Amino acid sequence: MPMKFTRRVALALCGVAMTMSVAAPVVAQDAYPSKPITLVVSYAAGGGTDAIARVFAARLEKALGGRVIVENRPGAAANLGTEVAAAADPDGYTLLIGNQGPMVVNPHIFKLKADPGTDLDPIAMIADASLVVVVGPSLKVNTLGELVEAAKSGELVYGSAGNASASHLGALLLGQTAGIKVRHVPYKGAGPAVNDLVGGHIDFMVTTIPSAIGLIESGTLKALAVTGEKRFASLPDVPTAIEAGVPGYTASAWYGLVGPKGMPAEVKSKLEAATTETLSDADVLDKLKNDGAVPSSMGPQAFADFMAKERTRWGDVVKAADIKVE
Amino acid sequence: MLDVFINLGLGMTVAFTLQNIALCFLGCLIGTLVGVLPGVGPVATIAILLPVTLSLDPTGSLIMLAGIYYGAQYGGSTTAILVNIPGEATAVVTAIDGHKMAQKGQAGLALGLAAIGSFFAGTVATIVIAALGVPMTRLGLLFGPTEYFSLMIMGLVFAVVLAHGSLLKAVSMILVGVLLSCVGADMETGRERMTFGLEMLQDGIEFVVLAMGIFGFGEIFKNLADPEARDVVRSRIGRLWPTLKELKDNFPAILRGTFLGSVLGVLPGNGAILGPFASYAVEKRLAKRPEDFGHGAPAAVAGPESANNAGAQTSFIPLLTLGLPPNAVMALMVGAMMIQGIVPGPQVIERNPELFWGLIASMWIGNLMLVIINLPLIGLWVKLLRVPYRLLFPAIVCFCCIGLYSIANDAAQVMMAALFGIIGYALYKLEFEPAPLALGFVLGRLLEEKLRQSLIISGGSPLTFLQSPLSAILLAVAVMALVIAISPSMRRNRDEVFKEA
């Protein structure tokens, strides 16, 4: 009997404690953040976007002085994460890593339940990840110019991480800018595509730097150009596409912080300041470099303008290639 | 050859530090646990543990994560044998005869053979990685989309032997599996197929959802509806250890399984899942009494179990030698390396020899640990069958649901599995085998992907499948197998075999 009594007391105490912990944030509502922040990632754990989100979140916690929990919500071609974030309360406790695909490409391809342009609020740009043009052993070319020349035969094939992925769009834009026709072979993820590139079954790829850098350094794959505006620190000898003779060709996978429309101004400015602080940490910069990215600090307005521009730009690429789904 | 031993010696000194042995043990233990628990797989576990590894050194964290992966392959067979629920695609084959053995009171023998076969395969595969890593990589690279497609065709033809019972039913199950694998966005155009506008189907059906539903929930419905069947398993547990003669009888199967698993594990796109199926097919062809297959043949457990463990290990080869992940778990390992600032690629072996050889050496230690963890546990696992069903079933359902939810933090996956559970029960009632369906599902996805990739690369010419010598050979084998299967004398034999059974 006494045993039962103590157990009941313990249960009651637990109940009280739980009510208190739930009630606590209501009392301290003014000090954001007063409860854990959920950072939604639209991709599965272990991928490129996830890696960048986790590096960012870990340091952001320190800058904000509160927990930031990364929640992977993959699905529906990365549109599920957009929907989840757009539908959340605009209180700053649900945020989203907004990147190139779902933010500015998918609106041209899918019929979306939430429009990232109107249902989400840009907070700050985080990082910019250039892509790299690589060729495998099947192709004896040394420069981007030679690749373009070889592609005039109309027989070259390139692999991508999937339909409408950054690597697909990057290659589409290269083809459109340089005026060449190349055939697209979609894979499920960059890994298997790079594998077939090494095996010589496909000719070239425009892929993310981390997916190829090891093979570039060992000489297995040849890097012809990076697609950013500047060269990438880990690949100092690889020219940009513009330097290599394809004027006007830039493509990058970028990552930013967005939230549901209608967040309080002070929450947004706090998050923006915390992002700036995070991106000035040397350790964060180092880790971003490993993920093939460079920090790109942009405030809400600059980031919004950038996204609008990107949306138009990739919309044209998508239309020209006719990869619309609906 | 001497180099290999010097290098393995270096690896041993790395793997035999107190910290790394402890991490290896921890990984194997966690792996065994998530393998045994239906629904909770190594992908989710490693993804969750990834941030934790930040505080460890690179070698230690990879040793632990690798332990989780092959430990889960090991543990997965336990659940497949005891309760007929394969948590991983590689355990589907084990469930067929393994569970029948458990029903016949040979649960201990099945678990023992699986453990011994796995250990042998693990040891051989470790040596294969160390000695043949580079040539094996080249072999893997020979398989482009064209060769891969022909390999799948050969696999599908051999799949027919998986069936015990009506050939027509088996073929239709394979086709349904292939159809189910087509659900979701088209890989080339992104257009939705067979999704009925449902968002949860847009990315296709997860294998775990299908397996948990049809095998897991379906099995539980079946047991609830048929109390007699389950009491058979409960009343007869039998001997726990295989005799020397049983070991000797099954050793050839273990040897062949190890070989098949090692070779197929190197292929990109998760070739490791083909190993157990191939091994089952080969063992059935070579068996003196093929009619026993599907009714608890020990070789049908020993062979495929060796194959799946060998494949799990050799799938590290492309990761270690090229930095290319052949499956989802290896992709997470790439993530783990990147977090630690190690760029996966061919240069890892020169720049981080202690990591490369330490990891390989730890695999052998890990396999030894798995035997030490698992053999004494066989008695305990078998006793699990004595747990009253009113407790065991809700527990299984609960773990399945947790695992299903954790795939994508999405409740829709759990509901979809429930639907597959009803389908699984209906299939059981109508006497359709679920294993060919699972195989069709697994192969179907790769089949379509590789067919379309080949045709894009060849510019639309189907001749490409004959122009590649490797592909042509594989197709020729498939055609030969098909001819033998439908030739009148073989058919008579086959029908007789099934009448007996």
Alpha-carbon distances of B291 from A35, B281, B306, B410, B494, rounded to whole Å? 63, 13, 22, 43, 9
Instruction: Residue B339: list chain A partners with CB under 8 A.
Output: 51, 287
Please indicate whether, in this complex, the C-beta atoms of B343 and A202 are within 8 angstroms of each other: no
Count of Cβ atoms closer than 10 Å to residue B52 Cβ = 11
Q: Which of B190, B341, B343 sits opposite A214 (nearest CB)?
A: B343
Distance CA A208, CA A212 (A): 7
Please indicate whether, in this complex, the C-beta atoms of B192 and A325 are within 8 angstroms of each other: yes
Q: Give yes or no for residue A3 having a pLDDT over 60.
A: no
Q: Beta strand A293-298 with B184-185: parallel, antiparallel or unpaired?
A: unpaired
Instruction: Residue B146: list chain A partners with CB under 8 A.
Output: 201
CB A136 within 8 A of CB A200: yes
Q: Which of B325, B348, B408 sits opposite A191 (nearest CB)?
A: B325
Grouping H, G, I as helix, E, B as strand and the rest as coil, residue A96 is strand
Please indicate whether, in this complex, the C-beta atoms of A186 and B335 are within 8 angstroms of each other: no
Interface of A with B in 153-192 (CB under 8 A): 155, 157, 162-164, 183-189, 191-192
Instruction: Residue B331: list chain A partners with CB under 8 A.
Output: 46-47, 189, 191
Instruction: Residue A164: list chain B partners with CB under 8 A.
Output: 190
Distance CA B66, CA B70 (A): 6
Please indicate whether, in this complex, the C-beta atoms of A195 and B203 are within 8 angstroms of each other: no
Q: Strand ranges (DSSP E) for A88-198? A: 94-99, 120-135, 157-160, 183-186
Q: Cα A146 vs. chain centroid, distance in angstroms?
A: 30
Grouping H, G, I as helix, E, B as strand and the rest as coil, residue B460 is coil
To test the contact with chain A by mutation, choose from B340, B343, B413 the residue with the greatest count of A C-beta atoms within 10 A, namely: B343
Q: Cα A121 vs. chain centroid, distance in angstroms?
A: 17
Q: Which of A71, A164, A185 sits opposite B456 (nearest CB)?
A: A185
Instruction: Residue B50: list chain A partners with CB under 8 A.
Output: 45-46
Distance CA B81, CA B68 (A): 20
Neighbouring-strand partners of residue A185: A159
Contact status of B331 with chain A (Cβ, < 8 Å): yes
To test the contact with chain B by mutation, choose from A158, A182, A218 the residue with the greatest count of B C-beta atoms within 10 A, namely: A218
pLDDT tens track for B158-179: 766 555 667 788 889 989 999 9
CATH class belonging to A29-129+252-321:
alpha beta
Residue-level pLDDT at B161: 57
SS (H, E, C) B52-115: HHHHCCHHHHHHHHHHHHHHHHHHHHHHHHHHCCCCCHHHHHHHHHHHHHHHCCCHHHHHHHHH
Instruction: Residue B409: list chain A partners with CB under 8 A.
Output: 71-73
Please report, in angstroms and rounded to a whole number, the separation of the first and last CA atoms in chain A: 68
CATH number of A130-226: 3.40.190.10
* Nearest residue to B414 (alpha-carbon basis) of B217, B195, B158: B217
Residue-level pLDDT at B163: 59
Q: Give yes or no for residue A279 having a pLDDT over 60.
A: yes
Grouping H, G, I as helix, E, B as strand and the rest as coil, residue B496 is helix
Q: Give yes or no for residue A27 having a pLDDT over 50.
A: no
Contact status of B52 with chain A (Cβ, < 8 Å): no
Considering only alpha carbons, which residue of chain A is nearest residue B411?
A: A73
Q: What 8-state DSSP symbol labels residue A240?
A: B
Interface of A with B in 210-239 (CB under 8 A): 210, 213-215, 217-218, 220
Residue-level pLDDT at B229: 60
Please indicate whether, in this complex, the C-beta atoms of A71 and B453 are within 8 angstroms of each other: no
Q: Give yes or no for residue A20 having a pLDDT over 50.
A: no
Residue-level pLDDT at A26: 45
CB A323 within 8 A of CB B189: yes
Please indicate whether, in this complex, the C-beta atoms of A195 and B346 are within 8 angstroms of each other: no
Length of chain B: 501
The number of C-beta contacts closer than 8 angstroms across A and B is 150
Interface of A with B in 64-103 (CB under 8 A): 71-77, 80
ipTM of the assembly?
Answer: 0.86
User: Is the four-CA dihedral B438, B439, B440, B441 of positive or negative sign?
Assistant: positive
Alpha-carbon distances of A10 from A7, A14, A21, A51, rounded to whole Å? 5, 6, 16, 41
Q: How far is B11 from chain A (nearest CA, A)?
A: 22
Give DSSP secondary structure letters for A159-175: EESSTTSHHHHHHHHHH
Contact status of B488 with chain A (Cβ, < 8 Å): no
Q: Which of A47, A183, A199 sits opposite B144 (nearest CB)?
A: A199
Q: How far is A182 from chain B (nearest CA, A)?
A: 10
B236 vs A57: which has the higher pLDDT: A57
Q: How far is A4 from chain B (nearest CA, A)?
A: 23
Instruction: Residue A198: list chain B partners with CB under 8 A.
Output: 141, 322, 324
Grouping H, G, I as helix, E, B as strand and the rest as coil, residue B36 is helix
Domain limits at B481?
A: 2-500
Domains A29-129+252-321 and A130-226 share a fold: yes
Please indicate whether, in this complex, the C-beta atoms of A218 and B345 are within 8 angstroms of each other: yes
Contact status of B190 with chain A (Cβ, < 8 Å): yes
Contact status of A203 with chain B (Cβ, < 8 Å): no
Q: What is the mean pLDDT of residues A321-325?
A: 77
Considering only alpha carbons, which residue of chain B is nearest residue A77?
A: B203
Average pLDDT, chain A: 88
Considering only alpha carbons, which residue of chain B is nearest residue A323?
A: B189
Q: How confident is the prediction along chain B (501 residues), in pLDDT tens digits per residue?
A: 678 888 888 999 999 999 999 999 999 999 988 888 877 778 878 877 877 787 888 899 999 999 999 898 888 888 888 888 886 778 888 988 998 888 888 888 898 899 999 999 999 999 999 888 888 888 888 889 999 999 888 878 876 655 566 778 888 998 999 999 999 988 888 888 998 988 888 888 988 899 889 988 988 888 888 776 665 556 566 676 788 898 899 999 999 999 999 998 888 767 778 889 889 988 988 888 888 888 889 999 999 999 999 999 999 998 888 888 888 888 888 888 877 878 888 888 888 889 999 999 999 999 999 988 888 887 787 777 777 888 888 988 888 898 888 777 888 999 999 999 999 999 999 988 888 898 889 888 889 999 999 999 999 999 999 999 999 999 998 898 778 767 665 555 555 544 443
Alpha-carbon distances of A194 from A135, A197, A215, A245, A319, rounded to whole Å? 10, 5, 9, 25, 27
User: In the block, which residue shows the tokens 């630690």?
Assistant: B340
* Domain count within chain B: 1
Give DSSP secondary structure letters for B199-265: GGGTT---HHHHHIIIIIIHHHHHHHH-HHHHHHHHH----SS--HHHHHHHHHHHHHHHHHHHHHH
Q: Which of B141, B346, B449 sits opposite A218 (nearest CB)?
A: B346
Band (A325; pLDDT cuts 50, 70, 90)? low
Residue-level pLDDT at B38: 76
Q: Which of A74, A214, A287 sits opposite B347 (nearest CB)?
A: A214
Contact status of B346 with chain A (Cβ, < 8 Å): yes
CB A211 within 8 A of CB A190: yes
Please indicate whether, in this complex, the C-beta atoms of A47 and B192 are within 8 angstroms of each other: no
Instruction: Residue B186: list chain A partners with CB under 8 A.
Output: 163
Please report, in angstroms and rounded to a whole number, the separation of the first and last CA atoms in chain B: 49
Q: Strand ranges (DSSP E) for A11-156? A: 37-41, 68-72, 94-99, 120-135
Structural domain boundaries in chain A:
29-129+252-321, 130-226
